[in-house]
Amino acid sequence: MKFTDHLWNEALPVYNKIQEHPFNQEMMAGTLPVEKFKFYIYQDSLYLAEFAKALATAGTKAGTSQELLDFLQFAQNAIIVERILHESYFKEYVIDFDGGKAPGCFAYTNYLLSTAAYESYEVSVAALLPCFWIYKKIGDYIYANQASPNPYQNWIDAYAGEEFAASVEKALSICNNLADQASETVRGKMTEAYLNASKLEYVFWDSAYQLENWKV
C-alpha cells in the first residue's frame, strides 16, 4: 500500500466531516449565504499568503534541486491564486473585512509555518499535503454533485481543474518517495502531521461557517 493510501485511511473520518460540513454542502447546492463565502475568501487570502511562505521554506529542506523547484512553484502558484482572489472576488463582492486572521486561520497558518521552519523535510511535506489533497477531493466532489447554475462556480472550477490536479499528483509522489526512505519513527511523525493539518482544514471551514471571531 502506498504511504499516502495509509494517510488517507487514517484521516478519512476527518475528511468525511469536511465533506459533510454545511459550508461545503451549501456551497455545492449554491445556497451558502454570500456573507459566509466573503468571510471565507478574505480568510483564504490571508491563508494563501502564509501557505506560500511555508511551501517555500519546506522547499529549502528538499534533497534535490528538482524538489526545491517543485516547492517554489507551488509557492508561486499560491501567490498567484491569492492575487486572483483579490482581482476577482474582492472586486465582485466588496470585501471590507479588516479584522485580520480569525482563530482558525491563525492556528492553521502558524501550524504550517512552524512545522516548515522547525521540523524535518518529511514532516513538513506531510503537514502541507492536506492543503493539496483535501481541496482536490472536495473540489471534485462538489463539481460532480453541484447545483447548476452555481454562484460559486469559479471557486469550484479552480480546484476541480487539471492544473491543480497535476500539482496534487506531484505533492503525493514526493510524499510517497520520502516515506519509502524514512524510518518508522519518521513515518509516524508524518502521519501525525498529516492528521493535524487535516483537522485544521476542518477548523478552517467551520470557522468561516461560524463567522468566527476572537470574542475579545
Ligand X SMILES: Cc1ncc(CO)c(N)n1
* Segment near ligand X (CB under 6 A); pick from 18-26, 43-51, 86-94, 141-149: 43-51
Shortest Cβ distance from residue 69 to ligand TZE (Å)?
A: 12
- CA 135, distance to chain mean position in Å, is 6
Residue 74 binds: one of ligand TZE, ligand X, none (C-beta under 5 to 8 A by kind): ligand TZE
Shortest Cβ distance from residue 109 to ligand X (Å)?
A: 9
Residue 77 binds: one of ligand X, ligand TZE, none (C-beta under 5 to 8 A by kind): ligand TZE
Shortest Cβ distance from residue 184 to ligand X (Å)?
A: 29
Shortest Cβ distance from residue 138 to ligand TZE (Å)?
A: 12
- CA within 13 Å, CB half, 23: 22
* Segment near ligand TZE (CB under 6 A); pick from 17-25, 37-45, 75-83, 190-198: 75-83
Q: Which of 3, 15, 23, 132 binds ligand TZE (CB under 6 A)?
A: 132
- 152 touches ligand X by CB under 6 A: no
Shortest Cβ distance from residue 158 to ligand X (Å)?
A: 9
191 Cβ contact list (under 8 Å, min separation 6) = 6, 7, 10, 126
Distance between CA atoms of residues 5 and 41, nearest Å: 30
Contact 67, 181 (CB under 8 A): no
- 131 touches ligand TZE by CB under 6 A: yes
Place of cell 524510518: 183
- Residue 3 or 132: the one with the smaller Cβ distance to ligand TZE is 132
- 77 touches ligand TZE by CB under 6 A: yes
Q: Which of 23, 37, 39, 47 binds ligand X (CB under 6 A)?
A: 47
- 172 touches ligand TZE by CB under 6 A: no
Contacts with ligand TZE by CB under 6 A lie at 74, 77-78, 81, 131-132, 167
